Structure 1
Amino acid sequence: MKMSGDLAQTPRSLLVCDQSNFLDEKNRLSSQVEQLHFNYKVSVLLPECDSTPSHLDAVLNSFSSFYLIRELPIYELLNKHFLETAVYQGSVYGVSYRTRIDEDNCVALMPNGHLCLSLDKDSFELLGVEGKPSRFNHRTNCRFVVSVDLTDSSMAPGGRGHQRLLTGLRSRLQMKCDFLLSHHPGGGASLQALLSRYDWSEHRPEISSHTLTDLSCPALLTSGLQSCDPHSFLEWIGAVDARVSCDNSSSSFLSSLVCPEPKTTVSRALSVSVRGLLLPQDVHRLIQQLRCYLEQPRLESWVSLTVHGFVDSPVSWGGNEHGVLRGGENFYSLLMFHDNTYRLHLATGAHDTCPP
């Protein structure tokens, strides 16, 4: 039987591995965490633990709220009051919700004040501003990217650049979409004027947890850490988070995943996840608390944290364009040890540039 081209060819993926120490002044972890702006899920795996420690629970429950604005006209992001009270005063995180990067018009407002529009050809021509063809066009230029720095003097309210984009979004393209929005450090106060004009709702990140028993794990405290294939390790972490068995028993046809060798078994483990529009600042605080957690005497001396970016965000790492054909992955997994060393895996799918 002949396989189709799509099934016969494994899609390309990118994986960067970084090994360092939290105490090393040259470690790049903080900047790497900050560069994945739009996070929708954070998962933590705690071996030999069956309930969330109180200090970790407090951090998870203090993750920033975010807002869902329904049918937001995108030209509102150019509003003078919004720019002055939010964009110029802190870090605004905004991304279109339930739009598909390979089919729909998508928007992202990044914390550095850059506005990114990923548009189909007809919408781009209607907008009438400068842009560039998407990196992920195949044969013809059917998709375009418009990126503007709202903090630049040329985009000051009333200026030529600002007026041109405002007219394009308000009069020609008239683009609307559901929009997720959060602001650090001002929170909702700086967004109230914008929110008051539309149908909106405030949301807290959703926290869930479950306990695992007799979990097979890679022998991370031995030389197995060095010899364990990164792809196999990430498959195992993903399977644990998705509650997919890695036993690969002969009676099961659901999964052929196995725990990487050499392996060991922990009697119990706690898997905790939080979902929403999650800010890098909150992820960073969680990492610091996990470091404190590792300082306590315990049977196991490692924890893992995995952060997933939105599949359909127009950007992935930093301001790099994000694209989806098969998977849309953009995530990182951090493996932390009691001696302050860590191993970081940064991954993207076929349609992204290399992670930082």
Structure 2
Amino acid sequence: MTTLRRMREVPRHLLVCEKSHFGHEKSRHRHLVETHYHNYRVSFLIPECGVLSKELKDLVMEIGPYYLVKNLPLHELITLDFINTFVKKGSCCALTYNTSIDEDNTVALLPNGKLILSLDKDTYEEIGLQGHPSQYSSRKIMKFIVSIDLMDLSFHPDSKKYQRISWSFKEKKPLKFDFLLAWHHAGSEDSAMMSYFSNYRIQEHQPKIALSTLADLQCPVLQSGQLQGMSEVACTAQELFDWLGAVYSNVELNNEPTNFISTYCCPQPSTVVAKACLCTLTGFILPEKICLLLEQLCRYFDEPKLAPWVTLSVQGFADSPVSWKENEHGFRKGGEHLYNFVIFNNWDYWLQMAVGANDDCPP
């Protein structure tokens, strides 16, 4: 007896591509990195390289810690002490841990001082703060978004606004979450956050680093001026994006007829490089750290190299309430929001930004 199964519709996604030069006065590369706040995984690939340079290796090892705080009351993030110590100094990010954006209450703190709450209908009605329905709600609205600006000049203990929010979080609807937190401020000690939350269960973590050398890697031939959506003579943007995903996922690329697990092959035209260095960091990684890594990858070409290009790819947390800036993010069938740089040896670059079914077009 044969059972026929209908293939599910492939989830819709958006891939936006642009090209520029790092030295161009209107280049958006830094802005796009700095406004993608909640980063889960950072990977870079360097063809024709067997060992990382000392500069790159040192930078990878010094990305810095992040913290997991258990059962942290939400009102702790709106105290004046926390705002003055962390939010107003440097870059501070927070994200609820092990919460699902489509089903649970989730909270994110952005480096610009915005506290974003994605709440279910019951919690929203109980908490009593002004917000708006999620733009991805169905006819029956089940999720609401509340945004609180911690940097607002009127946000002080004597204002009605502050007292209202504080009362909501502490008395009317006390909420507790496990939070991931990270903070960067030049000249400050990494232990400052450990000390501040010492009354709670706090753990310090370092990003996990996976470094490998890939032998005889088949790579697409890329020319900086050939970024195209559709082309018969060059690797398309979508093909490159898929190929990088396969490399990062350790997918076999030989397309052997006996390989029933994967029949994927490298886009054409292609070439085989003897060695390629692949490095992946996984954790809670601040945009400022990624900016430093991007700058160091650009400087990789200060001296002549065999590699004509390198790549840097960054994945956001699938269950973050936002993708870029304050753009609302949803999950539904796919929670991806990520970007990829292809950095050429002449400092030209391609930038690819991708989002899933419940997202606006990337900025």
The TM tier, using the shorter chain, reads over 0.9
SS in 1 for 2:60: helix
Encode CA deviations 1:209-250: one digit per residue, 9 max, x unaligned.
111111111111487655322121111001101101122211
Alignment of 1:118-129 (within 5 A): 118-129=118-129
**1:348 shift after superposition:** 0.6
Per-residue displacement from partner, 1:28-87 (whole Å, max 9, x unpaired)? 100011010011111010101112211100111111211110111111101121112111
User: Residue in 2 aligned with 1:167?
Assistant: 167
**Is the contact between residue 224 and residue 350 of structure 2 (CA under 8 Å) also seen in structure 1?**
no
CA distance in structure 1 between the aligned counterparts of 2:32 and 2:152, rounded to whole angstroms: 25
Contact 2:224 2:348 in 1 (8 A): no
Residue by residue, what CA displacement relative to the aligned partner does 1:233-283 show, whole Å, maximum 9, x if unpaired?
111001101101122211111123221111111111111011111111111
2:257 and 2:263 in contact (8 A); partners too: no
> Once the 2 structures are TM-superposed, how far is the Cα of residue 303 of structure 1 from its aligned partner?
0.3
Give SS of 2:112's match: coil
How many residues align structurally? 354
1:156-189 deviation digits (Å, cap 9, x = unpaired): 2332122212211222322111101111214545
Q: Deviations over 1:113-143 (max 9, x none)?
A: 0000011111111111101101111221001
2:245 is the counterpart of 1:243:
no
Residue from 296, 301, 304 that aligns with 1:297: 304
The one-letter amino acid paired with 1:201 is: Q
Q: Tell me the SS of whatever aligns to 1:236.
A: helix
Say if 2:199 is the partner of 1:184: no
Match of residue 343 from structure 2: 336
CA offset at residue 313 of structure 1?
0.7
Counterparts of residues 86-97 of structure 1 (less than 5 Å): 86-97=86-97
Alignment-derived partner of residue 200 in structure 1: 202
Query: Root-mean-square deviation (CA), in Å?
Result: 1.7
Distance 1:338 1:352, change over 3 A: same
Structure 2 residue aligned with 1:144:
144
Q: TM-score, normalised by structure 2?
A: 0.93
Verify the 8 A CA contact 2:194 2:204 in the aligned structure 1. Answer: no
Q: CA deviation at 1:2?
A: 7.0
Q: Percent identity?
A: 41
Equivalent residue, structure 2, for 1:131: 131
Residues 1:255 and 1:100: Cα distance change in structure 2 (over 3 Å): same
How much does 1:3 deviate? Answer: 5.7
Q: Is the 8 A contact 1:120 1:143 kept in 2?
A: yes
Give unmatched runs, 5+ long, in structure 2.
229-233
Letter of the structure 2 residue corresponding to residue 171 of structure 1:
E
| Length-normalised TM-score, structure 1 | 0.95
Select which of 261, 265, 269 maps to 1:254. 261
